[in-house]
Amino acid sequence: MVVRRILFGAAVLLSVNFVPGYTQDFGYDGTSGPNFWGKTFHNCVGKHQSPIDIELTDVKVKKFPPLKFENFDMALEKVILKNNGHTVVLTVAEGQLPSVSGGPLEGTYLFAQLHFHWGKNDLEGSENLINNHSFPLELHMVFYKSSYNDFLHAANHSDGLTVLSYLFEAVESENHRYDKFEEELVKVQNLGATAEVHDFVPVQQFIIDDKDAYFTYLGSLTTPPCSEVVIWIEFRQTVPLSHDQIQTFRQLSGTHGRLEHNFRPIQPLFDRVIYMNSGSYTYIKYTAFLLTILGIMCQ
Ligand SMILES: [Zn+2]
């Protein structure tokens, strides 16, 4: 009986440890790097993978309803920062969750977590590219569709998650909206380290104010299990951050030593269409230019 229990226990442990995609290790270099993810995580070689290169000449302009952000400007009652070996992740432990709706989304999506991707130096780091241009840092704010109840259930549906994605630009002066976060970031440099913070800054502090200038496309998680369940919303306006502030991210320790870079290379677009919201400033500027020309011609 005891032996049977032990065997049963071992079987449960084995099955839990080998749930595809959630427990096996992955990295960004060598044989654990992105080129090898597909061997263990079959979704990673799918046809709707992220990140991608957004070529401005190929995007299709479309007018989406306005994006609606809720609770973005409220202080977060209690948050947990964790170095999970692949990045630093911020989750909300107590208090009201930020949510997003509108734009390309049907229904409301609730905040699950935010995390970052970076590179060895300021010339690389972002996952998504624009006109093949890399940015030194990319912030992913991950939300799950509230009608699927929780993140894990949502991650099984093609419209289950949305990622609000923000690109960064390295500048000379510090962005003081990131002071509080940077203060906590140095506390989680060690692999597995966590920091609990009360009364943390609102998520609005992490991003830019322009909600209209964005690209959107259907894609995947950029880490294993690479599930193709993400509606990507990639904002065009960059967030400024100083070289030193970006450097702090590179001090984190990962599962394979210093986590100097953690971005996945771009994936083929295949049959997908990238949309640009027609409310975006690029579009408005272009339209204004055409109207001016027309006005001159009609005089
Ligand atoms: Zn990410």
pLDDT value at 45 more than 70: yes
The pLDDT value given to residue 21: 37
pLDDT exceeds 80 at position 26: yes
Residue tagged active-site, from 86, 115, 117, 140: 86
Task: Please state, for a pLDDT cut of 90, what percent of the chain lies above it.
Answer: 83
State the Cα–Cα distance between residues 115 and 142, nearest whole angstrom: 8
**Residue 280: what are its φ and ψ, rounded to 5°?**
-70, 155
User: What pLDDT, on a 0 to 100 scale, did the predictor assign at position 211?
Assistant: 93
Query: What is Dmax (Cα atoms) for the chain?
Result: 95
CA of 235 to the centre of ligand 1 (A): 14
The identity of residue 150, as a single letter, is: D
Q: Which single residue is written with the structure tokens 């677009």?
A: 269
Band of pLDDT at residue 177, cut at 50, 70 and 90: very high
Q: Rounded mean pLDDT of 47-56?
A: 98
How confident is the model over 254-268, as pLDDT tens digits? 988 899 999 999 999
Instruction: Output the CA 86–ligand 1 centroid distance in Å.
Output: 10
- Residue 286 C-alpha to ligand 1 middle, in angstroms? 31
Q: Which residues pair with 130 in a beta bridge?
A: 54, 133
pLDDT tens per residue across span 199-219 = 999 999 999 999 999 999 999
CATH top-level class for 26-289? alpha beta
d(CA 155, CA 162): 10
Say how many Å lie between the CA of residue 280 and the centre of ligand 1: 24
DSSP the chain: -HHHHHHHHHHHHHHHHT-TTTSS---SSGGGSGGGHHHH-GGGGSSS-S--EE-GGG-EEE-PPPEEEESTTSPEEEEEEEE-SSSEEEEEEESPPPEEEETT-SS-EEEEEEEEEE-SSTT---SSEETTB--SEEEEEEEEEGGG-SHHHHTTSTTSEEEEEEEEEEESS--GGGHHHHHHHGGG-STT-EEEEEEEPPGGGGS-S--S-EEEEEE--SSTT--S-EEEEEESSPEEEEHHHHHHHTT-EETTEE-----PPP---TT---EEETTSHHHHHHHHHHHHHHHHHH-
Of 87-91, 231-235, 283-287, the one with minimum mean pLDDT is 283-287
For the residues of 160-172, what is the DSSP string, one character each? SEEEEEEEEEEES
In angstroms, what is the span from residue 135 Cα to ligand 1's centroid?
14
Q: Which amino acid is at 178?
A: Y
Active site includes 117? Answer: no
